[in-house]
Structures are given as structure tokens and as C-alpha cells.
Amino acid sequence: PTAPAGPTPHMGSSAVVSSSSDAAHYEMKGNTIIVVFGASGDLAKKKTFPALFRLFRQGFLPNDVKIVGYARTKMDKAEFHSRATSYIKKSDDDAGLAESIDKFKDTLTYVDGDYDTGAAFDVLNAHLLEIEAHYTSEDKNRLFYFALPPNVFVTVAKNIKEHVYASPGVNRIIVEKPFGKDLDSARELLSSLKQYWSEEETYRIDHYLGKEMVKNILVLRFANVAFASCWDKSHISNVQITFKEPFGTEGRGGYFDSFGIIRDVLQNHLLQVLSILTMERPVSFSAEDIRDEKVKVLRCIPPIAQEDTLLGQYVGADGKPGYLDDDTVPRGSVCPTFAATTLWINNPRWEGVPFILKAGKGIMNGRYFCPKSKYGIQFKDVTQGIFQDIARNELVIRIQPSEAVYLKMNAKTPGLQTHAMVTEMDLTYNRRFAEAKIPEAYEALILDALQGDHSNFVRHDELDVAWKIFTPILHWIDGKNGTPPHPSSYPYGLRGPQDLDKFIQKYGYHRT
């Protein structure tokens, strides 16, 4: 297979890296400290520490790694340990788990301090130096994870650079979205961060890029002639990329209301999926080759038109509160909690094919009470004649829950008569690869950052072009050019606004 080899657990120590291009691809194997800023917060507790634990347990973290939490909240060691391990999935039949958690705790220390004074960062640095005093070689690696709200990104980036930057050593930052609110603010944020951190030191997370079935797209597309040969406007009628969450903003309304579903999910997670689905084959699997192709295809997408947009907001139903019932949401807000937008790609491969991006909160998802996301490629009608009303093929890739690839196809009904029926060629991962451990997105991405692999992180120019596509529609929704549009109401738990089916059919989608 030509796909890059999978990572192996670390065993040894590393060498000193001096030149910046070496540093870009340098793998942090030993002498490494991971500092988690905002360690008292939601993301750190639910995603960052559990991902670090899983990597630690499987032997993928650098040898003798130390993890330092930093935030303003005062906590003693026991409280920090308890928070950092509270979201580790525990099961009775997991032999050795308790012992692994204890070992993980031995790597964890906590420093409290503010985000805006240099003196607080000097205290943090003194703590890191104390850890590093035990190193037997000169190299030092520091990976700084920003589990922080964006209003403190730049201050923290500056203070780390001025007070906590290891020199000599390899330093990297991992930054979480949101990266701005529109094109101008994103450019401002990027250039402020760039004063202190180079592109090669910066890892911008879009955690969808760490999901197994998003990482799978390149292999599915380019390692299968059967798919590669029909991946264009001559064969594909429309593509839908969908995200549904069966819960509302619940307490996160303050953050959500100033962003809305388009900035929260479409402009980043779903657009990333779209770019990998539609890019040309990269020259290699290197980060720059992949991201060059993504940027090229994104540049062919014009800004989204108002008429290609459907907005919704959930209202209370069946005892569940509506968006406006959330105390953290401003009264009368017209912030969309659901959006469907159709994008067009003006290049020879995709001209005329609608790409429908849909995302919503407060949308029930069959029997699952968890987010569901998938992408579906619907092929064109088969030539009629011997068949009438025969269903279209549709290739569906379910990102979550229960990763799967299935092809809706026609087959002869078994038996003596010749009738066609719709059936599925089904590759459901937990059945086919029952023993495989599918990593969580954050696990895969933190490992990539330690290994100096930028392929699954967002490059500055990707971000710029993504904002160009979405900024006009966002300004319209924000009411920057007049009265903001009023989203259609949909009851909590339904599929979205009533007009959704009409909207999708407008672009040629047929239910199969």
C-alpha cells in the first residue's frame, strides 16, 4: 500500500534540532512537555486529556512525557487529577485501566496563573525548567495546546513566546477554532499570531480532519479506480454533507449566539470534508501537497448566494426547550441553529454539481442520541429504456456514529422473476473490522502535531479562502447590510425547517 505508514509507539530519545526546516518535520520523541492552557475548561476535560490518556496508554506519547495544565482557576493536584481523568471511559472488563490512570496522573501537574501578565508565565516557565532539569540530553520540546476562548489567543501566544519559549528547542502551538468571525477578523487574528509563531510552529485544529472517515476520503477516492473514474460532473448529480445534533446549545448559548451554526460547523468542519472530496489527486501525501490541492479547489468556489441558503432555529417541543428558552441566549435572537447552503465549484470537473452542506442543532437522529454526520454522493440516473424509475446509486460515508461506507445500488430481486430492487453494499466498520480500535479525532491530531505532520491541520491560506466563501452570507445573516433574515422555526427533534425537502430537491436530489 502506498498510504503513509502508521505510527509506532515511541521507545527512544531524540536529537537536537537546529534548522527551522528540520524543526518543521521533527518528531517529538523524548524530552517533551505538553502544556494545556485552559486546563480547567470543557474542551480540556472532555477531549484533550482523554485523548492524551489514550495516546499515553498505547505508548504513543513521547518517552517520559510530562503534561502541565495551566488556567486561572485555583486547584490542588488532587482536584486537577480528578478533572483531567473524569472523562476517561471506564469499563469493568478493562484490565489494567486503573493502573494506567495512576501512571498517567504521575505525568500531570498544574500551575494556576492569569493569561495576560508576563510574571505569571515566568512562574510557568520556572515549573517547566524544573522538569527539564532532569533531562540527560540538551534537546527540549514544548507543545502548547490552547483549550481557550479566542479572546485570549493572541495574549497567550505572545506571553508564551516572550516567557516560556524553549531556546534552543522545538516549540509548537495547537490552536482551536474559531479562527475569526469573518474574512477581516480572521486575517487580523492570523497576522497577530504570526508576529509570535511561524506557520510551521502553528497547528490549527479542525477536529473533523482527525476523524477516521474523513481521513479515509483520500484512500477511497484515489486508491479505487471504480470510484476515481466516476468522480466528476458526468456521473455525479449532487453531493450532500450533513451534520445533525440531537441536542441544543444547552448552556453554550452565549458562545453559540455570537457565532451561529454556519461559523460553528459549516465554514470549517463541513467545508473541510468538501475540499477533500473534490480536490485533485495530490502529488504526494505530504502536508503541503495535500493542502495545495485543497486550496486550489476552494478557490474555485464563489461566495454563497442568499438564494442557495435555508436557515432555521429550533423551538421548544415535547417538553424540550427551544433555542430562545436558553437563558444564555439573548432575547429575540435570530441566530440560525440550522443552515443548509449550496456551494458550486467552477472548474471542469465539478461545474454544475450542487454541493449541499447542512447542519443543525436540536435535530433527532433516529435511534441514536449522539451527533450524526455523513456525506452522500448521489450519482446520475441510469439511462432509461429497459428500466423505468430505477433508483439512483448513492455512495454514503457515515462519519459518526458507527463508521461505515455503503453503496446504495440496484440488484435483481432474488427468485424466478426479473425485478430490480434497491439494496446496499455495506462496509460497516464495527462488523468488518471488529478488532480495530478507531482513534478519536483529537487523539490522531495530537499525535500528528507531536510528529510534525501538518497534513490534517488548517493552513493559513485555506482559512482565508474559506472565509471568502462564507463572509458575504454571514454578513447578510448578521444584518450588516440591512435587516437580518428571519430563520424558519422547526420543532426541537424534527429534521429541520419544513422547506428542507423542497430546498434539497431544487438541486436534483432524489430520495433513494
Point out which residues bind ligand NDP (CB under 6 A): 38, 40-44, 46, 71-73, 115, 147-152, 176-178
Owner of C-alpha cell 429504456: 385
Binding status of residue 440 toward ligand BG6 by CB under 6 A: no
* Smallest separation (angstroms) from ligand BG6 to the CB of 463: 15
* Smallest separation (angstroms) from ligand NDP to the CB of 344: 28
**Closer to ligand NDP by Cβ: residue 75 or 97:** 75
**Closer to ligand BG6 by Cβ: residue 370 or 425:** 370
Per-residue binding string, ligand BG6, 362-381, x by CB under 6 A, is ---------x-x--------
Q: One-letter amino acid identity for 317?
A: A
Residue 356 contact among ligand NDP, ligand BG6, none, beta carbon within 5 to 8 Å by kind:
none
| Pairing mode, strands 236-245 and 355-361 | parallel
User: How many residues bind to ligand BG6 according to rule CB under 6 A?
Assistant: 5
Q: How many CA atoms lie within 13 A of 496 on its CB side?
A: 23
**Closer to ligand NDP by Cβ: residue 210 or 336:** 210
* Radius of gyration in angstroms for the set of CA atoms belonging to the chain, rounded to a whole number: 24
Query: Which residue of 112, 139, 201, 245 would you call a contact of ligand BG6, by CB under 6 A?
Result: 245
Residue 72 contact among ligand BG6, ligand NDP, none, beta carbon within 5 to 8 Å by kind:
ligand NDP
* Smallest separation (angstroms) from ligand BG6 to the CB of 245: 6
Is 269 a catalytic site residue? yes
Active-site choice (10, 81, 207, 269): 269
- Write out the binding residues for ligand BG6, residues 180-219 only, by CB under 6 A: 207
* Smallest separation (angstroms) from ligand BG6 to the CB of 150: 12
Closest among 180, 175, 178 to 205, alpha carbons compared = 175
- Write out the binding residues for ligand BG6, residues 290-319 only, by CB under 6 A: none
Residue 376 contact among ligand NDP, ligand BG6, none, beta carbon within 5 to 8 Å by kind:
none
Write down how long the chain is.
512
**Closer to ligand NDP by Cβ: residue 10 or 263:** 263
Q: Residue 423 in contact with residue 409, Cβ under 8 Å?
A: yes
CA 95 from centre of chain: 31
Q: Which residue is nearest to ligand NDP (CB)?
A: 41
CA 252 from centre of chain: 18
Residue 148 contact among ligand BG6, ligand NDP, none, beta carbon within 5 to 8 Å by kind:
ligand NDP
Look up residue 29 and give its three cell numbers: 520523541
Q: Residue 473 in contact with residue 303, Cβ under 8 Å?
A: yes
* Smallest separation (angstroms) from ligand BG6 to the CB of 99: 29
**Closer to ligand NDP by Cβ: residue 117 or 306:** 117
* Smallest separation (angstroms) from ligand BG6 to the CB of 401: 10
**Separation between Cα atoms, residue 458 and residue 447, nearest integer Å:** 16
Cα-based distances in Å from 421 to 417, 463, 511: 12, 44, 14
Looking at beta carbons, which pairs linking 157-163 to residues 24 or more positions away fall under 8 Å?
157/192, 157/193, 157/196, 157/197, 158/195, 158/196, 159/115, 159/116, 159/117, 159/118, 159/120, 159/121, 160/121, 160/196, 161/196, 161/197, 162/118, 162/121, 162/196, 163/118, 163/121, 163/122, 163/124, 163/125
**Closer to ligand NDP by Cβ: residue 28 or 43:** 43
Q: In 425-490, which residue ranges form alpha helices assigned H by DSSP?
A: 429-432, 441-451, 460-477
**Closer to ligand NDP by Cβ: residue 112 or 293:** 112
**Separation between Cα atoms, residue 137 and residue 156, nearest integer Å:** 28
Binding status of residue 264 toward ligand BG6 by CB under 6 A: yes
Residue 43 contact among ligand BG6, ligand NDP, none, beta carbon within 5 to 8 Å by kind:
ligand NDP
Main-chain phi, psi angles of 38, to 5 degrees = 80, 30
Residue 371 contact among ligand NDP, ligand BG6, none, beta carbon within 5 to 8 Å by kind:
ligand BG6
Residues noted as catalytic:
269
Q: Which residues bind ligand BG6 (CB under 6 A)?
A: 207, 245, 264, 371, 373
